[in-house]
């Protein structure tokens, strides 16, 4: 871990928001040589009340903060990388009836991929961001853990970071709460102290609805299809596979006489299956693209598993058979959704995770 005042160079990924701005200010205060870099995606500005994290306003806010702190600031164009690594996958997954998590891929390939490479190229010893998460160093290496403020914890989105990345990363806000960060922003005299948080998916022009974006990107590939029950009886018509997700209840346009939820999405047959809530629950699923911070388990292990960001992690067994990893919850969980990430925790420490591929039962 870096020591205060050692003069080492640290690059800070500055989005123009309060979190990354305070992260930079804390490092300057501790005596590090700080350089700010803002990723530019050439995105249209949000029409909503919350700003884009990497839009024009974000770049200008980051530049003003850098000037206030007396540090150098650069803008790095990552439009092509965003399109190839994040947006392309986002659209492909939805067209296949899956629900992707673009923030996970952005962290893996852009923020802690290309941006980290740029930081090292500039002679920095570390890359810092405003994420709420902790990095713990042990004799075995580095581990990613939950933040001190569990209500803001972002470790779920960072689970694909490995040893080669973690040793170069700093999270200055690891032990802070959000209200403390805003108070610090005021103390540092940063103009972004009261700025609202950015939207979750930066490349969506309308943060409330991804559907118009998908329609434009799909170029006519989205087709209407059948809504059926588990026996195959036709109940109605859906507007297109990409517009729905497992566990969804609203927007079906059906009056069933009971609360109906989406239980299965089959892009091959272009069909959506609905049923009662218990039919949208499952216990066992397979993952693809497994990632483990310090080596994959050789035998069955008991861990806590989180199947989406706002899901309360639950006890499960993770079992490996060759290259296949199977997860089995002790109790059924609602809406195990292909495309989302399943992240494995041992208490507050991330052991690994993967992308939910297929629900078995």
- Give catalytic residue positions: 106, 202
Q: What angle do CA 93, 277, 231 make, to 5 degrees?
A: 80
Task: Kindly calculate the radius of gyration of the chain based on its CA atoms and give it in whole angstroms.
Answer: 22
Q: What are phi and psi of 86, to 5 degrees?
A: -120, -60
Q: What is the rounded distance in angstroms from the CA atom of residue 8 to the CA atom of residue 240?
A: 53
**Nearest alpha carbon to residue 340 among 360, 355, 358:** 355
Q: For residues 274, 279, 285 and 287, what is the CA-based torsion angle, rounded to 10 degrees?
A: 30
- Cα 198 off chain centre by: 13
The SS3 assignment for 299 reads coil
Q: Which residues, 6+ apart, have CB-to-CB distance to 119 below 8 Å?
A: 11, 37, 126, 127, 168
Start-to-end CA distance of the chain, whole Å, equals: 45
In this structure, are residues 153 and 170 in contact, taking their beta carbons and an 8 Å threshold? no
Q: What is the Cα–Cα distance from 242 to 99, expressed in whole angstroms?
A: 8
Q: Residue 186 and residue 154: Cα distance in Å, rounded?
A: 23
Q: Look at residues 238, 237, 247, 242 and name the one whose alpha carbon lies nearest to residue 210.
A: 242
Helix (H, G, I), strand (E, B) or coil at 220: coil
Q: Distance (Å, rounded) from C-alpha 206 to C-alpha 221?
A: 21
């Amino acid at each position: 871990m870096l020591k205060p005042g050692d003069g080492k160079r640290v690059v800070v990924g500055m989005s123009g928001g309060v979190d990354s701005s305070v992260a930079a200010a804390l490092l300057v205060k501790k005596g590090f040589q700080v350089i700010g870099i803002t990723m530019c995606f050439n995105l249209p500005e949000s029409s909503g009340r919350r700003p884009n994290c990497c839009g024009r306003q974000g770049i200008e806010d980051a530049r003003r903060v850098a000037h206030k702190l007396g540090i150098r600031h650069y803008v790095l164009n990552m439009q092509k990388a965003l399109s190839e690594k994040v947006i392309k996958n986002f659209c492909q997954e939805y067209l296949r009836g899956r629900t992707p998590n673009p923030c996970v891929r952005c962290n893996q390939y852009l923020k802690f991929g290309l941006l980290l490479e740029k930081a090292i190229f500039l002679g920095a010893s570390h890359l810092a961001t405003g994420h709420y998460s902790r990095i713990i160093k042990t004799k075995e290496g580095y581990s990613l853990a939950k933040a001190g403020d569990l209500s803001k914890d972002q470790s779920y989105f960072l689970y694909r970071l490995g040893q080669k990345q973690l040793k170069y990363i700093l999270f200055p806000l690891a032990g802070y709460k959000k209200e403390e960060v805003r108070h610090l922003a005021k103390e540092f005299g940063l103009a972004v102290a009261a700025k609202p948080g950015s939207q979750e998916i930066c490349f969506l022009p309308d943060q409330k609805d991804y559907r118009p974006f998908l329609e434009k990107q799909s170029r006519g590939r989205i087709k209407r299809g059948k809504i059926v029950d588990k026996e195959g009886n036709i109940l109605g018509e859906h507007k297109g596979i990409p517009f729905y997700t497992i566990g969804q209840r609203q927007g079906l346009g059906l009056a069933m006489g009971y609360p109906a939820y989406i239980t299965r999405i089959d892009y091959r047959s272009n069909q959506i299956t609905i049923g009662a809530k218990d039919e949208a629950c499952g216990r066992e699923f397979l993952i693809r693209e497994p990632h483990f911070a310090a080596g994959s388990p050789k035998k069955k292990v008991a861990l806590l598993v989180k199947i989406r960001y706002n899901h309360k992690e639950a006890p499960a067994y993770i079992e490996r058979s060759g290259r296949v990893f199977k997860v089995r919850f002790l109790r059924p969980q609602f809406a195990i959704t292909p495309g989302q990430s399943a992240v494995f925790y041992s208490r507050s420490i991330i052991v690994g995770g993967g992308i939910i591929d297929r629900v078995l039962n």
